[in-house]
Amino acid sequence: MKRNVLIIGAGGVAKVVAHKCAQHNDELGQIAIASRSVDKCQAIIESVKAKESLKVPAEIKAYALNALDIEATKSLIRETDSQIVINVGSAFLNMSVLRACMETGAAYLDTAIHEEPGKICETPPWYGNYEWNHLAECQEKGVTAILGAGFDPGVVNAWAALAAERHFDQIDSIDILDVNAGSHGKYFATNFDPEINFREFTGQVWSWQNSQWTSNTMFEVKRTDDLPVVGKQNLYLTGHDEVHSLSKNLNVPNIRFWMSFGEHYINVFTVLKNLGLLSEQPVKTAEGLEVVPLKVVKAVLPDPASLAPGYTGKTCIGDLIKGTRDGQERELLIYNVADHEDAYAETDSQGISYTAGVPPVAAARLIVSGEWDAKRMVNVEELPAAPFLTLLDQMGLPTRIKDANGDRPWDQLA
Amino acid sequence: MKRNVLIIGAGGVAKVVAHKCAQHNDELGQIAIASRSVDKCQAIIESVKAKESLKVPAEIKAYALNALDIEATKSLIRETDSQIVINVGSAFLNMSVLRACMETGAAYLDTAIHEEPGKICETPPWYGNYEWNHLAECQEKGVTAILGAGFDPGVVNAWAALAAERHFDQIDSIDILDVNAGSHGKYFATNFDPEINFREFTGQVWSWQNSQWTSNTMFEVKRTDDLPVVGKQNLYLTGHDEVHSLSKNLNVPNIRFWMSFGEHYINVFTVLKNLGLLSEQPVKTAEGLEVVPLKVVKAVLPDPASLAPGYTGKTCIGDLIKGTRDGQERELLIYNVADHEDAYAETDSQGISYTAGVPPVAAARLIVSGEWDAKRMVNVEELPAAPFLTLLDQMGLPTRIKDANGDRPWDQLA
């Protein structure tokens, strides 16, 4: 039975992960948290103490770590006796942290696809460029690596698996709808790391349509949906991690990801992109200083973690699934609604960090219980969905289903 | 009689200055050009050769110079035997170049007010913070220093002086209207150094109203005018150099500067400013690199000089003057219209560089002739306007007057 968790990263999502690990430390064992800045780790630990999140008395330890340094990461895994690593640091770290896990035998969990600083939106499927190159090695070594175990990717993948198993004989389309109807009160801010946020939108938008990869540009394709609680929303076709694994693992010809954006976000994004300020490639100032414009944009924007105190409103994320069952066409929305203020009250964090940070802790609990200790590299849709969704119901992210028979908890019969 | 000109700077305006000096090198004597980048000087010299701008055969020499280095600047003035320095480098250089002139006895000319990198839009009158601190020393040493001898400031100051002398007994208001109705065909670009351009607009907008300094914010106050050739235009109250000298030198209770902006410019400006990307104060990236956001914005924007080849359309800059003459109220527009394509054909430069670069050469010719060799520090409105405007008529920037009696050349009787 695996125990003891090392959290890598100290941003908004890591804070939620720390709170949630603390709430279940009777199962998870010792908790350690490591990032480049040990001060940020310490601040998270203070928050965990202030909220009295620890279920059983324990000391969470903070470590300074450059997680690109594989040997240092291996040493820390061994020093802390961690058998589970939750990687919620920058997406640039995945490959080195995964390598450290493969070499120490620790289970690996992350919430976003690997990225290289100088490249954006690589050829689909993205996982094929990095993570999936290690499928065989994980299998051989019996290393558990669960990729994309946040909300989206993560919970939305589990929903897709649930739908395929329980609700459809054949699925024609999965449209993942991601709406943040919250308000942070700032002129402009991103809800997670601006660098990663913008990198999602500056390249090609890859979607899986008619069983092939289709390329669009950002804000080219729009839809409007009337969703539970948050109401009518404009969503735009967006490239996203889960499309790249679901298209491989499920036999579904159309898989698309859609994100809600207001006019103001689109205007700011368009200005910055057209000026070249979202570029990941360095430019040289008149004074000869080499600098990546996107990193300067990140530096001037509010720290996503700082948005939490004043954030109001709700998120609604769902899988809108169409297909057939017993020869009948049917349509199903599997969704969750989360509240920014509730997230703050519980974890000192805003709702976007909350939805991303709770699921990997549920996944870690399932590794401890053995139900998800796959001893190979998997994406979430390859694992049993029900125990994951059951835990999430209890941990603050309840799943609901809406179809012709009404709106109800996911595990309640229609 | 002063002779030999040293041009400091190698941007768009410097290029026009070089062409125009070349066209009058029989009067001006030897021409040298110096900037941080000797390559940029050399490129200007190539353009002067290609356009055959030199009136009498001569060699223009290029020098690498850091004009913040006063001793180096003094040495170059002496080495080139220059008795006139036209400073059209960055506005950060004024004080050091002026000091070099005061210590060598060379006449000093510039086209924009001094700025310090870490400060914007200082307390009015702006000239009082730097240039005018040296009034007494110039007077004592008999050094000619003509401040703000471009178009605006510069020609517009001469127009104000002309109006006060010839057309009004009492002036109530001078509204300087600066319209660029040209099109460069890029998503976004500034017509001169983006750093200096944006710095004009990010601080307080100072205007002289009811004989006192009045502060507004950028884009707060708008007017719409129907102007010669360019037609109906939206202009916005803007802080600008000439307001600060005209309010001291002329007995006029209202002096305002207005600049035309399209909706698109305002949108881009507003996004960049609100995000903090126009700040002159350094920020630190997550990687610890210190960088001034405005310098990165400058680095990603098109080089203003690069706009010239495709630039079409015209500029219209005028002084709209109201007051009384012989007990009667009257209103007068003194103005110039310049054409981007004509400017390019003559000097390889766009119209904004052209309007700024021709006047200091006219001023230099008047220093040579003695008419403007003031042997003290002056702003343009303190010098006789007629010889300046007469030269400009011949040099490509004709002045016209429009009033109740019609639209005509400035020196033609109504």
- Smallest CA-to-CA distance from B258 within B200, B212, B196 is with B200
Sign of the four-CA dihedral A381, A382, A386, A388? negative
Q: What span, in angstroms and rounded, lies between the C-alpha atoms of A304 and A184?
A: 10
Indicate if A325 and A336 belong to the same structural domain.
Answer: yes
Instruction: List chain B residues with CB under 8 Å of A283.
Output: 296, 299-300
Do B276 and B383 share a domain, yes or no?
A: no
The residues, ordered by sequence, that sit 6+ positions from B310 with a Cβ below 8 Å of its Cβ are: B184, B185
**Three-class SS string for B308-370?**
HHHCECEEEEEEEEEEEECCEEEEEEEEEEEEHHHHHHHHCCCHHHHHHHHHHHHHHHHHHHC
- As beta bridge partners, residue A7 has A33, A86
> Under an 8 A CB cutoff, do A295 and B289 touch?
yes
The answer to whether residue B121 scores a pLDDT higher than 80 is no
Residues B77 and B213 in one domain: no
Residues in chain B: 414
Contacts of B298 in chain A (CB under 8 A): 285-286
Task: With beta carbons under 8 A apart, name residues in chain B contacting A271.
Answer: 188, 267-268, 271-272
In a domain, A231, yes or no: yes
User: Chain B residues with CB inside 8 Å of A272's CB?
Assistant: 271, 275
Question: Residue A361 belongs to what H/E stretch?
Answer: helix A351-369
pLDDT of residue A191: 85
Give a yes or no: residue B24 inside a domain. Answer: yes
Does residue A329 sit in helix, strand or coil?
strand
Query: Best of B196, B271, B272, B281 to disrupt the A interface by mutation (most A CBs within 10 Å)?
Result: B271
Cα separation, B304 vs B14, in Å, equals 12
> Residue B219's pLDDT is what?
93
The answer, yes or no, to whether residue B195 has pLDDT greater than 90, is no
3-state SS, residue A68: coil
Residue appearing with tokens 């090198």: B25
Contact B389, B162 (CB under 8 A): yes
B77 bridge partner residues: none
Report whether pLDDT(B74) > 70. yes
On the question of pLDDT at B135 being above 90, the answer is yes
Alpha-carbon gap, residue B236 to B178, rounded angstroms: 10
Tell me if B414 is assigned to some domain: no
Task: Say if residue B380 is in the same domain as residue B289.
Answer: no
Q: Are strands A328-339 and B314-325 parallel, antiparallel or unpaired?
A: unpaired
Range B261-274 average pLDDT: 94
Residue A302 to residue A197: CA distance in whole angstroms: 13
- Residue B339 in domain: yes
Q: Mind spelling out the 3-state secondary structure of chain B?
A: CCCCEEEECCCHHHHHHHHHHHHCHHHHCCEEEEECCHHHHHHHHHHHHHCCCCCCCCCCEEEECCCCCHHHHHHHHHHCCCCEEEECCCHHHHHHHHHHHHHHCCEEEECCCCCCCCCCCCCCCHHHHCHHHHHHHHHHHCCCEEECCECCCEHHHHHHHHHHHHHCCEEEEEEEEEEECCECCCCCCCCCCHHHHHHHHHCCEEEEECCEEEEECCCCCEEEEEECCCEEEEEEECCCHHHHHHHHHCCCCEEEEEEECCHHHHHHHHHHHHHCCCCCCCEECCCCCEECHHHHHHHHCCCHHHHHHHCECEEEEEEEEEEEECCEEEEEEEEEEEEHHHHHHHHCCCHHHHHHHHHHHHHHHHHHHCCCCCCCEEEHHHCCHHHHHHHHHHHCCCCEEEECCEEEECCCCC
Contact B353, B197 (CB under 8 A): no
Mean pLDDT, chain A, integer:
95
CA pair distance A192, A149, nearest whole angstrom: 16
SS3 category, A62: strand
Cα pseudo-dihedral B227, B231, B234, B240, rounded to 10: -40
User: Are A88 and A11 in contact, with CB atoms under 8 Å apart?
Assistant: yes
B328 with B192, same domain? yes
Residue of B nearest to A286 (CA): B299
pLDDT score, position B144: 98
pLDDT at A386: 98
Cβ-Cβ contacts under 8 Å for A75 (sequence gap 6 or more): none
Shortest Cα distance from B269 to chain A (angstroms)?
9
Per the domain annotation, does A132 fall within a domain? Answer: yes
Which of B2, B99, B80, B94 has its CA nearest to residue B41?
B80
Structure tokens at B364: 């230099």
Chain B: give the shortest CA distance to residue A153, in Å. Answer: 26
Mean pLDDT of chain B: 96
pLDDT at A414: 67
- Residue A357 and residue A351: Cα distance in Å, rounded? 10
* Short-list A132, A119, A72, A121, CA closest to A97: A72
Q: What is the DSSP string of A277-310?
A: TT-SS-EE-TT--EE-HHHHHHHHSPPGGGGGGG
CA A24 to CA B229: how far, in whole Å? Answer: 75
Q: Which two tokens stand for residue B172?
A: 């109530």
Interchain proximity B300–A284, CB inside 8 Å: no
Residue B10 with chain A: CB contacts under 8 Å: none
Helices B155-162 & B241-249 angle (0-180, nearest 10):
30
DSSP characters for A11-29? SHHHHHHHHHHHHTHHHH-
pLDDT confidence of residue A123: 84
Pairing of strands A290-291, A314-325: unpaired
d(CA A44, CA A60): 10
pLDDT on residue A71: 98
Q: Do B275 and A299 touch (CB under 8 A)?
A: no
The Cα–Cα gap between A12 and A363 comes to 18
- Here the CATH number for the domain that contains residue A289 is 3.30.360.10
User: What pLDDT, on a 0 to 100 scale, did the predictor assign at position A242?
Assistant: 97
Residue with tokens 């900037």: B35
Task: Give me the percent of chain B exceeding a pLDDT of 70.
Answer: 100
pLDDT band at B414 (very low <50, low <70, confident <90, very high): low
Taking any CB pair shorter than 8 Å as contact, residues of chain A touching chain B are 187-188, 195, 267-268, 271-272, 274-277, 279, 283-287, 289, 291-293, 295-301
Taking the CA of residue B411 and the nearest CA in chain A, the distance in Å comes to 44
**Which among B187, B267, B299 has the least Cβ separation from residue A285?**
B299
Rounded-to-integer distance, Cα B369 and Cα B84, Å? 12
A76, part of any domain:
yes
How do strand B328-339 and strand B314-325 relate by DSSP bridges?
antiparallel
Q: Which residue of B has its CA nearest to A287?
A: B295
CA torsion B398-B403-B407-B410 (nearest 10°) is -30
Q: Which amino acid is at B311?
A: Y
Same domain for A78 and A165, yes or no, is no
My answer on whether B40 and B168 are in the same domain is: no
pLDDT at A295: 95
pLDDT at res. A196: 82
Of the candidates A188, A195, A169, the one whose C-alpha atom is nearest the C-alpha of residue A326 is: A169
Cβ distance of A299 and B291 shorter than 8 Å = yes
For B300, the closest of A187, A267, A293 (CB atoms) is A293
* pLDDT tens, residue by residue, A159-211: 999 999 999 999 999 999 999 999 999 999 998 888 888 887 878 899 999 99
Tokens of B51: 């356009």
Query: In which band, very low, low, confident or very high, does the pLDDT at A122 lie, cut at 50, 70 and 90?
Result: confident
- B94 and B120 inside one domain: yes
Check residue A121 and give its pLDDT: 60
C-alpha A82 chain-centroid distance: 22
Strands A400-403 and B31-35: unpaired
For residue A326, the SS3 value is coil
What residues in A contact B267, CB-CB < 8 Å? 267, 271
Per the CB < 8 A criterion, the answer to whether A22 and A57 are in contact is no
Q: Which amino acid is at A101?
A: C
Residues whose CB falls within 8 Å of the CB of residue A59, separated by 6 or more in sequence, listed in order? none
The 10 Å Cβ neighbour count of residue B251 is 9
User: What range defines the domain where residue A61 resides?
Assistant: 5-150+351-395
Structural domains in chain B (count)? 2
CA distance B344 to B12: 11
B143 and B179 belong to one structural domain: no
Is there a contact between A351 and A336 (Cβ–Cβ < 8 Å)? Answer: no
pLDDT in tens, A320-339: 999 999 999 999 999 999 99
Q: Is residue A317 part of a domain?
A: yes
A267 contact residues in B (CB cutoff 8 A): 267, 271
Please report whether residue A414 resides in a domain: no
pLDDT band at A137 (very low <50, low <70, confident <90, very high): very high
| Exposure on the CB side of residue A76, measured as CA atoms within 13 A | 26
- Percent with pLDDT over 90 in chain B: 92
Whose tokens are 């994309």? That residue is A148
Indicate the Cα dihedral angle A284, A289, A292, A293, nearest 10°.
-70
Compute the distance between CA of residue B160 and CA of residue B173 in angstroms, rounded to an integer.
10
Query: Under an 8 A CB cutoff, do B297 and A277 touch?
Result: yes
- Residue in A closest to B301 by C-alpha: A275
How large is the ipTM? 0.77
Residues B239 and B345 occupy one common structural domain: yes
Q: From B284, which residue of chain A is nearest by alpha-carbon distance?
A: A299
Q: What is the dihedral of CA B301, B303, B307, B313, to 10 degrees?
A: 70
Same domain? B262 vs B291: yes
Residue B12's nearest CA partner among B186, B192, B185 is B192
Q: How far is B40 from chain A (nearest CA, A)?
A: 13
Please check whether residues B185 and B274 belong to one and the same domain. Answer: yes
Q: Considering CB atoms only, which of B267, B272, B284 is closest to A299?
A: B284
Residue B362 has pLDDT above 90, yes or no: yes
Q: Which of A40, A190, A269, A275 to mutate to test the interface with B (most CBs of B within 10 A)?
A: A275
For range B362-374, the mean pLDDT? 98
| Separation CA B43–CA B51 (nearest Å) | 12
CATH at B370: 3.40.50.720
Q: Do B296 and A296 touch (CB under 8 A)?
A: yes
Amino acid code (one letter) for B52: E
